[in-house]
A and B are shown apart, each in its own frame.
Chain A
Amino acid sequence: MDIVVENLTKKYGAQRAVDNISFRVKTGEILGFLGPNGAGKTTTMKAIATYLTPNEGDIHVGNFSIYENPDEIKKNIGYLPENNPLYNDMPVIDYLKFVAALQGIEKGRIREKILHMINTCGLEGEKHKKIGELSKGYRQRVGLAQALIHDPQVLILDEPTSGLDPNQIVEIRELIKKIGREKTVILSSHILAEVEATCDRILIINKGKIVADGTSRDLRKQSEGHEILRVKIEEGDKNEIFKALQGLNTIGMVDFMKKDETAFEIQTKPGLSSRREVFNLCVGKGWILTEMTPIETKLEDIFRELTMN
């Protein structure tokens, strides 16, 4: 099921939390929703999950509109809200039973569904504990289990890995990837590495507007103006090397690396490459080039560039 968001606007008082955004998520795609706090990620997801009514615009999930068939959307969506709210006084298994019944799963199949979810989400040892007694990682799994129990076509996950330890993050990520193959998934996060690792496509929003949309490679390309190299040159006077490097006409800027006396960071002029020039220079002068590493523009930098004004 595709998700189509058209001209969605949501105001809180005078403030526009989401300002006229449109996008489409295709079946089988995992979309990463990135943005600083308060950018409108959660609001958008709540609107897709039919919890919030937008001021303007429409959302379709499959053929259903949030205005006309909210119940059909609710049946086809698995939603994990921010902070993963759960009934703390209920045992895991009772809670899953409750959710399964609400989702309209036939009585005879509830048991089988619950067992399946307990296996998929690794809750075997905790199924009789009260949710309030679980650690954060297991709570998160219960949150995922309740979102997945009716085998929804669409998954909306709001910060599914927040507050987890690194091992748990990897596990949940794998789980999402595994489940996400046949489903349409939107997940939000402000951890960039996570989005890069899990998602096929990234959508960055800031102040309620979409500022970037594409794969992580696309985004990199967009902001890649110039090549950055880290080089290490030995057997020479560092000031002399510095001057010689700056003399090369492809090079825009040279910087000492702080810790290492023999290492430099070179920024090439836009559209050019200076790897050959640097090599030839060293050969000519008899210096020894021990390292040359192209530095990739990090997603963090792109993110900062797009969201800081």
Chain B
Amino acid sequence: MRAIWTITMRELQSFFDSLMAYIMLIAFLGFSGFFTWLFGADVFFVKQASLQSFFSIAYWTLFFFIPALTMRQFAEENRSGTLELLLTKPVSDWQVVLGKFLSTLVLILIALALTLPYYITVASIGPIDHGAVWSGYLGLILMSAAYISIGIFTSSISNNQIVSYLLALFIGIFFQIIFSLLSSNFGGFIGEVLSFLSVSTHFDSISRGVVDTKDLLFFLSLIFLGLILTEANLAKKRL
């Protein structure tokens, strides 16, 4: 446990030292704030005390930002050889993978925590469905965790950060939108499967305030799959 936390803290520190964290926080708050309050289908346009507009913009900004945070994590260690040093310390592959996963998740949690003033503001303007807000946040956290584990996996594949960024987007876009677009074209069983595989289906249902075990199961298995593939990738390098 201590090893995982040690790695998480080092990664977090490196996010903040490299300005990556600040850039991400500012860009995320800037984008989501702009579209929540000032432009397009913002809170005032919708004329409802709800954070729906924030959740739908955060859904896309996180999709693009998360791979930018995770792309470095294994690619850079692979390229510079520090991975060898890390894995010859008394830590297991799992601890390394989890440590890196948690560090990005903590950064996303910080970013989301900084949007809580939006919630407070909206709540002070009108009657707000508190349950829907909290489950919306839960949806964002689960979705982020899923994309983090995909991003970490693609980072472990390549030595090149750009390659791992693009690969993460490529894999991610299927879950983000393509499966759901396809599912409306296919009917029947295939349509159902595709719709189940789509992150947007589960995110929408959670952010409406309905937290179903099916949705939780979907996100948790996606997270687990990404992490287990990353671990397998690390083990493969040592053969």
Contacts and interface: CB of A to CB of B under 8 A. Distances in A.
Instruction: Identify which of B6, B13, B14, B90 gathers the most chain A CB atoms within 10 Å of its CB.
Output: B90
A77 B81 CA distance: 18
B90 A81 contact: no
Interface in B218-239: 238-239
A86 B239 contact: no
Nearest to B96: A102
Contacts of B86: 102
A101 B80 contact: no
Contact of B80 (A74, A79, A85): A85
A102 B13 contact: no
Contact of A74 (B81, B88, B238): B88
A46 B84 CA distance: 9
A222 to B, nearest CB: 35
Contacts of B87: 51
Interface in A179-232: none
Which interface class (under 10, 10 to 19, 20 to 34, 35 or more) fits B? Answer: 20 to 34
A101 B2 contact: yes
Contacts of A90: 10, 13-14, 17
A139 B18 CA distance: 20
A264 to B, nearest CB: 52
A126 interface: no
A152 to B, nearest CB: 11
Contact of A79 (B6, B88, B92): B88
A81 B81 contact: yes
A104 B2 contact: yes
Nearest to B235: A53
Contacts of B14: 87, 89-90
B238 A102 contact: no
Contacts of B2: 101, 104
Interface in A76-103: 77, 79, 81, 83, 85-90, 94, 98-99, 101-103
A52 B238 contact: yes
Contact of B85 (A79, A89, A101): A79
Contacts of B17: 89-90
A102 B88 contact: no
A269 interface: no
A146 interface: yes
A173 interface: no
A50 B84 CA distance: 10
Contacts of B7: 102
Nearest to A47: B238
A49 interface: yes
A75 B90 contact: yes
B90 A102 contact: yes
A104 B13 CA distance: 20
B89 interface: yes
Given A53-B238, A98-B6, A98-B10, A87 B88 contact: no
B172 to A, nearest CB: 27
Contacts of A74: 88-90
Contact of A102 (B6, B80, B84): B6
A87 B82 contact: yes
Nearest to B17: A89
A71 interface: yes
A53 B239 contact: yes
Nearest to B99: A102
Nearest to A48: B88
Contact of B84 (A51, A53, A89, A98): A51
A81 B85 contact: yes
Interface string B149-189: 00000000000000000000000000000000000000000
A173 B18 CA distance: 35
Instruction: Identify which of A51, A79, A83 gathers the most chain B CB atoms within 10 Å of its CB.
Output: A51
B3 interface: yes
B96 to A, nearest CB: 10
B18 A85 contact: no
A94 B12 CA distance: 13
A94 B2 CA distance: 17
B91 interface: yes
A75 B89 CA distance: 7
Nearest to B79: A85
Given A51-B84, A85-B80, A102 B89 contact: yes
A88 to B, nearest CB: 8
Interface of A: 46, 49-53, 71, 74-75, 77, 79, 81, 83, 85-90, 94, 98-99, 101-104, 146
12 contacts: A51-B87, A53-B239, A77-B88, A83-B81, A86-B85, A89-B17, A90-B13, A101-B6, A102-B86, A102-B89, A102-B90, A104-B2
Given A87-B14, A103-B89, 16 more contacts: A46-B84, A49-B88, A51-B84, A52-B238, A74-B89, A79-B88, A83-B81, A85-B80, A86-B85, A87-B10, A87-B82, A89-B17, A89-B18, A102-B89, A104-B2, A104-B90
